[in-house]
Amino acid sequence: MNWIGRSLPRLEDPSLLKGNGSYVADRIGNAASVRFVRSPLARGAITGIEIPSGTVVFTGRDLSGVKPIRPILHRPDYVAIGQPVLPVDRVTFCGQAVAVVVAEDPARAEDIADRVFVDIEGENAIVDLDAALATGTAPVHPEAVSNVLVEGRMKTAGLDTAFEEAAEIVTLELRSHRQSAAPMENRGGVAVYDVASGRVTLTASVQMPHMLRTGIADALGMTESDLRVIAPDVGGGFGQKMSLFPEYVVLVWLARKLKRDVAWIEDRRENFTASAHGRDQAFSLRGAFAKDGRLLGLDADLRSNVGAFSCYPVTCGVEPLMALAELPGPYDLAEYGVRSRGVTTNTCMMAPYRGVSRPMLTFSMERLMEVAATRLGIDSVEIRRRNLITAFPHRSPTGLVYDEGSYLQAMEAAAKSVDLPAFRARQAAARLRGHFLGVGFSVFSERTGYGTPAYAARGMEIVPGYEIVDCTMDPSGDVVLRIGSSPHGQGLKTSLAQLVSDELGIEPHRIRIISGDTDATPYGWGTFASRSMVIAGGASKLAAGKVAHKLKTIAAQLMETTAESITLENGWARVSNSNQATAIGVLARAAYHQSHRFKGLSPGLHESAVYDPGGTFSNACHVAIVEVDIETGGTRIERFIVVEDAGVLINPMIVDGQIAGGVAQGIANALFEEIIYDESGNLLTASFADYLPPTSAEVPEIEIIHMETVSPESITKAKGVGEGGAIGAPAAVVNAIVDALSPFGIQLFELPATPQRIREQLRRAGVATHG
Amino acid sequence: MKPAAFDYFRPASLSDALALLAKYKDDCKILAGGQSLVPAMNFRLARPAILIDINDIAELDYVHADDRGLHIGALTRHAAFHRRVVDGPLGALFSAVARHIAHYPIRQRGTFAGSLAHADPASEWCLLATTLDATVVAKSARGERAIAIGDFFNGTFSTDLEPDELLAEVHLPPMGQGWRTGFYEFSRRAGDFALGMALAALRIEAGVVREARLGVGGVSDRAIRLRKLEERLVGGAASQEMIDTIAREAWASVSPIGDIHATPEYRRDLVATAVKRALTEAAA
C-alpha cells in the first residue's frame, strides 16, 4: 500500500470540526488577565506614566533588568536595534506597549488600562518609506542616522554593457502597500507558574516554540530548562507568529514576579497596531531588453519599510535581503545590479508574511515583462518563453542554484488551459458590448525547504534551518513522531503520517505526531518559509527509515533471512519470494521484551534523524481572467488557474488547500488589503471594517493543475508549497486588469489595485462616468 | 475589546422603556439589534452608562401595510424584508435592497429602525427612507411626534431624536403598481457599506415620467434627495439621453466627502454611475 500521493482526509480535522480544538484562549484556566497600555503616539519622549492607585501595573522601569530584543546579522551594513520589552524613555510607534496591567478579568484590566495615563512629549513621526530616506529627517534610532538598518548591494561586471547594447530600456516605479497577515486567531499567551519547581509554562499562539523559549530565556536571564513553551492549536500564523514579541517576555516575567498564572489574549485592534506588518515596499527597476525580447540586464533599487524594530530571530533583513537575492526569479538573467535597503520608520514592525518580498518581486518582474512585451510588440507568453530558465541546475547572478523545475512547461500548460485564441475572440466581442475582460500571467519560482546554508549566507547570528525528528515505535507497533516543526493549520501531521506509513508499512492512523511542546519535542525551528514538508518530512523519512531498518533486522533474525530480503507493508514484515511473514506488532514487542535475542541491536525501537538541505525551488504559473467595470473601477475575477510544480505531492488535497489559501491572500494583496497610517503615524485601518480581506464572494474557485519535477535536492521528492499561491497571484491579477484596460492604454504599478486607483487611471485617460 | 461598565435594563413594555428614557436621557442608549452599537461599545468608542434593551417589547415587533402605506416597528429585523412585506413595487424594492445590507447573520439581528437611528450616511435604509418620503414616529413619556425624514438626519450618526425619545415606527407612503424602481450600490466587498449608491423610483405612464424619486447615499454626511433632478425627469421620457443628462447633473451637484475608503473625486464618479444604473433599472 502506497500512502504517498493519496488525498487522505486530514487526521487533524475531526477534532477541529467538532469544536474540540484547543487554542490559547481555551487554556486560560484561573489566570489573571493581562492588558497592555499602548502608546497613543508614534514618536516622542515619555515624560511620565500615571498609575491609578490600588492597581497592579508595571512599566519599563520595573522591567529594567530585562534585556532588549536585539537580533543580529553579521554584516557590515547591518545596524542592530534593540527593542525594549517596555520602553522607559521613548515611544517609537503608535500601539507600542508601554505598561502592563494585571487584573481579575479582561474587562477590569481594560478599565484600568484606560486610566493609566502616559504622558508623551510628541515629536514628528517618520511614516513613509521614501520620507525616511530623505536627508534632514531626525532619525528614528540614533544608531542609524540614515534610517537604513540593512543594505545589500551587488553588480555584475557586464551590467553597464548590457544597458549600452539594449534595444529597449524599460524603467518602472512599483509600489506595494503595507499588509497584515490577519490570522483568524490573534496572538495570545498564558504563562503558568509552578510554585513547586519555579518553572513557567508559556502556552502561546506561535509558530516557533523553541525559538521563543530561547529568546525569552535570554531576555530574562533565565535558564531554558526553567521555561516550557507550548504551541497548542494555532488559528493561522502566515509568518506573523514567528517572531519574539515583547508581550511574551512580559508574560513570563509577570508569572515569575507575581508567582501566579497570567493570560493575555490579544484583540484585533492590538493585532493590527502592534503585531507585525509586511509588504511595504517601493522598487525602482530598469530592464535592458534586446530587440527579440531577451532581458539582458536588470538594475534595481529596492526599498522595504521595516517599521520601528527588527524582528527576532530573522531580523529586518528578511524582506530586503530576500528581495536582493531573488528578484531575477525564473528568468535567465546574466547581468544584475541591485541596491536593497531596509528602512526604519515610526510604524509597526515588519515581520515575515507568507511569500516574504516575493509577491512584490514577482509583481515587479511580471509587470516588467508585460511592459517590455507591449513596447517591443511581442506576445505576453512569447516574451516569457524567450527568457525563462530551461536548463538546470541554473546558477543565478546572485549565486543561487536552482534545481530542476518546469518553468516553461508550466507556463505552456497554463496558456493552453485558458485557450488564449478563444479568449482573445471573446475579449474582442465583449469590448463591443462595453465589457472589459483581460487575461494576466504570472510565472515564478520559489525557493523552499532551505536549511542552514541559506540562513548562514545572510549572516544571521541565529541560523535556523535543520530539523530533528525522533521516531519511536512502541511495543504495540504504533509510532510516535516528535518533530521540531510546529504546524498550525497546514495538515502536516497527516502528510508526515503518510510519509512514515510508507517507510514502516503501517497505516497512518497508527502514527501520532507530537509537535509544539519544548518539553516533548527535539529542538527545532517551527513552521515557516515553505519548509516543513521538505525538512521535517526529510528528517521524518530518515528517522522512520532507521526504525524500519531495525525492524527488518529483527525480522531477518526471527525468520532466518537477511534484512535486505524483508519488506514492510500492510502491517507485516514479509520475506520476498516466499510466503513467510511476521506481523510488525510482533516484531515491535520482541524489540522491547525479547531484546536479549537480537545480537548487535540495542533494545527498543527509537531512532532520531536530522535533515538540513540546501533548498529546492518549486515553480508555478498563475493565470487570472478578470472583468473590469470601467465606471466603478471594480474588478471581478472570472477564473483563476494555477499550474504548480511542487515535485511529488504527498497529499494532493492538502497541497491544493495550501495553494487555494495562498491565492486568496494573493488576491487580497492584489485588490483589497491595505494598512493605512496617517501622516502622524496613527493607524487608520485597525479593524475589519477598514482592513478588507476578501470573502468567499470575492474569491473564485481556484483551478489547479499539477506538474511533477523530481529534484535530487529533496529526499522526500516533495518541494515546498506553502507560499506560492500568495506569491504569484498579485501579478496575475494586475496583469489581467492592465490587459482588460489596454484599449485605454492604462498601466498599473501599485498594489493593491483598488477600484479607486483603477478609476483614477481611467479618469486620467478620459473615461468619464457622467457622459 | 471589552465594553466599559454599563447598567442594563430589559423592559417588557414600551411604556417602561419610555419611563427609563425619561429618567436617564443622555446617559442611555437603546439596544435593538446591536450590530453597530455593540462593536462601538467593544471598541469603547461608545460608552453609554445605561443600555435599554428593547428586544422583549413585542409591541415594537411588526411590519404591516395598510392604505396609508407601510408601517415598520422598531424591532423589525433587516431579514424580515428578504420576503416581500407588501405587494407591488415597494415590497420588491425593500427585498432587493435588504440583500445589500451586510451579511445574512447580521441581517437576522440588525433592525430597520436601528439603522435610521444610527444614521450612518452609507446605510441603505437611510437612503431608501430619504428618497421615498418616510416619516419617523418618535415616542417619549411626553407623547408622540412624527418627523419628516427630511428633518430627521442632522449628519453622520446624528438625528433629530431627543434624548428621551425612542424611534418607535417608520412609515412609508404606499407605492402603486405604476411605479418602477432601481437601486445600485458599489462597495468593495459583498456586504460592505456603500462607497456610492443611488435609488430611483419612477411612475411612467405611456412612456412619460409622471413622478420621480431619486436619492444618493454614501456620498456625504447623510443620504441626499436630488429633488431638482426629479423635477427634470418629470414630463419627459426616461430615455438614455435623459438618464445620461441626469447622471451628469448628479455628478456636478454633489460635494462628496473623502476618507480612507474613497476620495471625493472617486465618490463623485460613483454617484454618476450609481444614478445612471439605478435610473436605467427603473426605466427598463
The grid coordinates listed for B106 are: 447580521
Task: Spell out which residues of chain B touch residue A664, defining contact as CB-CB under 8 Å.
Answer: none
Total tally of structural domains belonging to chain A: 2
Asked if B266 lies within 8 A of A760 by C-beta distance, the reply is yes
Quote the CA–CA distance of A442 and A724 in Å, as a whole number: 11
Which of A553, A580, A611 is a domain's end point? A611
Q: Are residues B189 and A698, on separate chains, in Cβ contact within 8 Å?
A: yes
Residues A599 and A620 in one domain: no
Residue A180 identity? S
- Whether residue A700 is contained in a domain is answered as yes
Q: A591 and A510, same structural domain?
A: yes
Same domain for A660 and A584 = no
The pLDDT of A515-531, averaged and rounded, is 96
Asked which of A556, A591, A611 is the last residue of a domain, the reply is A611
Residue A648 located in a structural domain: yes
Are A490 and A384 in the same domain? no
Chain B interface includes A766 (CB < 8 A):
no
Q: Is residue A144 part of a domain?
A: no
For A735-755, how does the pLDDT look when each residue is reduced to its tens digit (9 = 90+)? 999 999 999 999 999 999 999
Q: What share of chain B is helix, strand, coil (3-state, %, to 5)?
A: 35, 25, 35
Residue A211 in domain = no
Q: Are strands B50-53 and B7-9 parallel, antiparallel or unpaired?
A: parallel
pLDDT at B1: 82
The mean per-residue pLDDT over the stretch B42-54 comes to 96
Q: Are residues A695 and A563 in the same domain?
A: no
pLDDT in tens, B78-87: 999 999 999 9
Quick one: average pLDDT of A83-104? 98
Q: In this structure, are A443 and A590 located in the same domain?
A: no
Question: Coil, helix or strand for A376?
Answer: helix
Question: Could you tell me if A481 and A531 lie in one domain?
Answer: yes
User: Is residue A416 in a domain?
Assistant: yes
Beta bridge partners of A414: none
Q: Are residues A641 and A547 in the same domain?
A: no
CATH number at residue A685: 3.30.365.10
Residues A415, A477 within the same domain: no
Residue A649, in any domain of the structure:
yes
Confidence of residue A578 (pLDDT cuts 50, 70, 90): very high
What is the average pLDDT score of chain A?
97
Q: Place A1 in a pLDDT band, splitting at 50, 70 and 90.
A: low
Q: Identify whether residues A421 and A547 lie together within a single domain.
A: no
CB contact under 8 A, B260 and A755: no
pLDDT of residue A263: 98
pLDDT tens-place string over residues B215-234 = 999 999 999 999 999 999 99
Which of A595, A611, A627 terminates a domain? The answer is A611
Judging contacts by C-beta atoms under 8 Å, the chain B residues touching residue A755 are 186, 188, 195, 266
Q: List beta partners, residue A223.
A: none
Give the tens place of pLDDT for each residue, A587-605: 999 999 999 999 899 999 9
In a domain, A557, yes or no: yes
pLDDT at A639: 98
Domain of A516 in residue numbering reads as 453-611
Q: Which domains does chain B have, with CATH numbers?
A: 7-53 (3.30.43.10), 58-172 (3.30.465.10), 179-283 (3.30.390.50)
Q: Which of A689, A754, A770 sits opposite B247 (nearest CB)?
A: A770
Which whole number is the average pLDDT over B103-128? 97
A602: burial class by Cβ within 10 Å (0-12, 13-18, 19+)?
A: exposed
Residue range A640-699, pLDDT digits in tens: 999 999 999 999 999 999 999 999 999 999 999 999 999 999 999 999 999 999 999 999
The whole-angstrom distance between A373's CA and the closest CA on chain B is 31
pLDDT digits (tens, 9 = 90+) for A32-69: 999 999 999 999 999 999 999 999 999 999 999 999 99
* Cβ A330 vs Cβ A620: under 8 Å: no
Give the model confidence (pLDDT) of A214-270 as tens digits.
999 999 999 999 999 999 999 999 999 999 999 999 999 999 999 999 999 999 999
Q: Predicted confidence band at B256 (pLDDT cuts at 50, 70, 90)?
A: very high
Q: Please report whether residue A346 resides in a domain.
A: no
Whether the predicted pLDDT of A756 surpasses 80: yes
Q: Name the pLDDT band for A771 (thresholds 50, 70, 90).
A: low
Predicted pLDDT at A210? 98
Task: Give pLDDT, residue A770.
Answer: 79
Residues A547 and A659 in one domain: no
* Bridge pairing between strands A335-344 and A295-307: parallel
Give one word for B206, left, alpha or beta, with left for phi > 0 and alpha for psi -120 to 50. Answer: left
Region A562-576: mean pLDDT is 96
Q: Are residues A707 and A722 in the same domain?
A: yes
Calculate mean pLDDT across residues B91-110.
Answer: 97
Q: What's the CA gap between B148 and B168, in Å, rounded?
A: 14
Residues of chain A with Cβ-Cβ distance to B247 below 8 Å are 769-770
| Each residue's pLDDT tens digit, B122-137 | 999 999 999 999 999 9
Spell out the long-range contacts of A659-662 with Cβ–Cβ below 8 A and sequence spacing 24 or more: A659/A702, A659/A704, A659/A721, A659/A724, A659/A725, A660/A702, A660/A704, A660/A725, A661/A725, A662/A354, A662/A355, A662/A722, A662/A723, A662/A724, A662/A725, A662/A726, A662/A727, A662/A729
Whether B69 shows a pLDDT value over 90: the answer reads yes
